Amino acid sequence: MAKYDNNFTDQLRQRLSVVDVVSRRVPLVKRGQNYWGCCPFHNEKTPSFSVSEDKGFYHCFGCGKHGDIISFTMESEHVDFKTAIAELADMAGLKLPTYKPKTKQQIESEESYITITAAAAKIYAEKLFSPDGAHALEYVRRRGFSDEMIKKYGIGYAPKNNIISNKFANIKQEKVIATGLVRRGDYGLYDFFRDKLMFPIFNAHGQIVAFSGRSLDGSEPKYINTTDTEMFHKRQTLFGFNFARESIHRANRAIIVEGQIDAIQMQCHGFGETVAPLGTALTEDHIAILCKANRNIIFCFDGDGAGQKAAARACGIILPFLRDNSDVRFAFVTGGKDPDEVLKNGGPGEMKKIIDSATPLVDFLWNITNKNYLINTPAGRVQAEKFIKTNTDKITDKMLRAEYEREYNNRKFNEWHKWKKNSDTVNIDVPEIDNIIKNTLVYIVNKFPSVAERYGDFISKFNLDLDSDVKVDFDMDLKSAEKYIITLKIQKYMESLEKQKHDLMVRGLSGESDVSQEIRRIDDEINRMREKFDLLV
């Protein structure tokens, strides 16, 4: 049987959580770091089937069955390898390509690729400590990097000349070009990275598959990365993940920052669980990789407009990955700083305060909505509600989605439907009400939500404790409840008119002119309200 390309099966394993795949057939409960359930491959009453989301494997301590998402799909659904791959690809939202078995030439090309990138990393590392790299070494040390950090992360320097092109001149050109390190020009090969501070990019196996180069002269773009190759895809690679995996497991969370230097400094100052995207916007693949390691994620972005925009985008991307064991939060570094600067000036303690004060996703999405829409107008509220619904609909866990919807419905009622007057209208305070009226209103709100929604602008002014325990049954139907609200509304309005009339009369007695016409207008309004009141009672 033809083998499928390892790149695609690895992509499936990165995109899909083994917990999500297994839980479609086996109810799982989390205990400690793993999930447990009754084995689907033999009869048992006591759960002995363990699933590790971090490692991507399941294991039954009863019958010994062991494997990953592919083997589970094959055995639980009694299908062949090709069918299992097709089903998982559909679940992951990936198009199933037609693959052929790897040829000997393809295998040799991959081995050559890794050999060339590893050799290039060594050349760059040596050049950093040469006279050519003196300015780069000065820069990186000024940024707080010790020699130990430089060695650990393989940081180097790409000189201005074509050092890589010359080094591999005797190797077949296609092999060197395939790594993205060099390009073909009118006069032969030339280096892609020149006069750059170099950061090797590792895959999950710890092999160097690409590089990220930072400018040293202030030119833009600040970072350039290896273009996508057969063995490297920016959308599927997180900088520092190979170093962070164990820390993510221990800390029970991941932190995402915006740049490579920020990620390294965070890892070296007590936040080993930190990673960064590679100069590109965060993608679903990035989130899928992290959620396999841990579903607790803190996004830590700059507090400027670009950072806020990046956070809003991240919020939309992560919603489909939420589960009831997810804790997603958003932290912002303000004052035009980044994590590197905070750590340098305030130390890990200051950075910890920022991380600990991160805003939960449920609040962050609510804040975005209130910031971007005019919720004090009916049309603005409609737009805001559509925005919230569009986002909550992305949550694939039905029970969690329903809980989010309930939470936002409560917030909309309590915070959006406040009684607000236009600037050209007299602002009238509603007088205090006695306990009987308060209890009646609480009873109506809890029993008739439709009435509460319709008159929410009026009811919310009383600042009711809607969670209070009202034991009296007022024996109201929907019609009588609405009549009670309307009657109370007219009564309070009449009281406010009487107060306005009294104030005007005082001003008239004090010698102020031109109040008589306003008093007559108020009298007419009072009479009109009395007629309405009499009809109701």
For the chain, percent of residues with pLDDT exceeding 70 = 89
Task: Tell me the per-residue pLDDT of 354-409, one tens digit each, with 9 for 90 and over.
Answer: 999 999 999 999 999 999 888 888 888 899 999 999 999 999 888 999 999 999 99
Is 464's pLDDT higher than 60? yes
User: Are 76 and 67 contacting, i.e. CB atoms less than 8 angstroms apart?
Assistant: no
Q: Which of 183, 151, 139 is nearest to 165 (CA)?
A: 183
Structure tokens at 361: 């996703």
User: Are 205 and 212 contacting, i.e. CB atoms less than 8 angstroms apart?
Assistant: no
> Coil, helix or strand for 157?
strand
pLDDT at residue 1, as a whole number: 38
- Average pLDDT score over residue span 487-499: 85
Q: Of 60-74, 220-234, 274-288, 519-533, which range is least confident?
A: 519-533
Beta pairing partners, 296: 327
pLDDT at residue 425, as a whole number: 42
Task: Tell me the per-residue pLDDT of 41-57, one tens digit each, with 9 for 90 and over.
Answer: 988 888 899 998 878 88
- 192 residue type, one letter: F
State the fold for domain 104-232.
DNA primase DNAg catalytic core, N-terminal domain (3.90.980)
Is 348's pLDDT higher than 70? yes
Is 251's pLDDT higher than 70? yes
Task: Provide the pairing of β-strand 296-302 with 254-256.
Answer: parallel
Tell me how many helices (H) and strands (E) the chain has.
22, 17
pLDDT at residue 97, as a whole number: 67
Whether the model clears a pTM of 0.85, i.e. scores above it, the answer is no
Residue 116 half-sphere exposure toward CB, CA atoms < 13 A: 29
Average pLDDT, the chain: 85
The reply to whether omega before 221 is within 30° of 0 (cis) is yes
Higher pLDDT among residues 103 and 159, named by residue? 159
State the fold for domain 235-367.
Dna Topoisomerase Vi A Subunit; Chain: A, domain 2 (3.40.1360)
The reply to whether omega before 200 is within 30° of 0 (cis) is no
Q: How far apart are CA 232 and CA 235, in angstroms?
A: 9
Task: Tell me the per-residue pLDDT of 411-461, one tens digit each, with 9 for 90 and over.
Answer: 998 888 654 444 444 444 444 557 778 788 888 887 887 777 777 777 777
Task: Tell me the per-residue pLDDT of 105-123, one tens digit each, with 9 for 90 and over.
Answer: 666 777 889 999 999 999 9
Is 323's pLDDT higher than 60? yes
| Domain range list for the chain | 6-92, 104-232, 235-367, 435-536
Of all helices (H) and strands (E), which one includes residue 347?
Answer: helix 339-356
User: Are 121 and 154 contacting, i.e. CB atoms less than 8 angstroms apart?
Assistant: yes
Q: Of 4-13, 208-217, 471-480, 491-500, which range is least confident?
A: 4-13
Beta pairing partners, 213: 198, 224
- Average pLDDT score over residue span 502-521: 75
**In Å, how far are 57, 164, 254 from 288, measured between CA atoms?**
16, 35, 12
Task: Tell me the per-residue pLDDT of 162-206, one tens digit each, with 9 for 90 and over.
Answer: 999 999 888 888 899 999 999 998 888 999 999 999 999 998 778
Q: What are phi and psi of 475, to 5 degrees?
A: 50, 55
**In Å, how far are 67, 70, 71, 127 from 13, measured between CA atoms?**
12, 8, 12, 38
Residue identified by tokens 């170099």 is 198
Structure tokens at 302: 């700059």
> Coil, helix or strand for 323?
coil
Higher pLDDT among residues 6 and 192, named by residue? 192
CATH H superfamily, domain 6-92 = Zinc finger, CHC2-typedomain (3.90.580.10)
| Packed helices 69-77 and 6-15: angle between N→C axes, nearest 10 degrees | 90
483 CB neighbour count, 10 Å cutoff: 14
pLDDT at residue 423, as a whole number: 41
User: Are 241 and 204 contacting, i.e. CB atoms less than 8 angstroms apart?
Assistant: yes
> What is the separation of C-alpha 430 from the centre of its chain, rounded to a whole number of angstroms?
42
Note whether 104-232 and 235-367 share their fold.
no
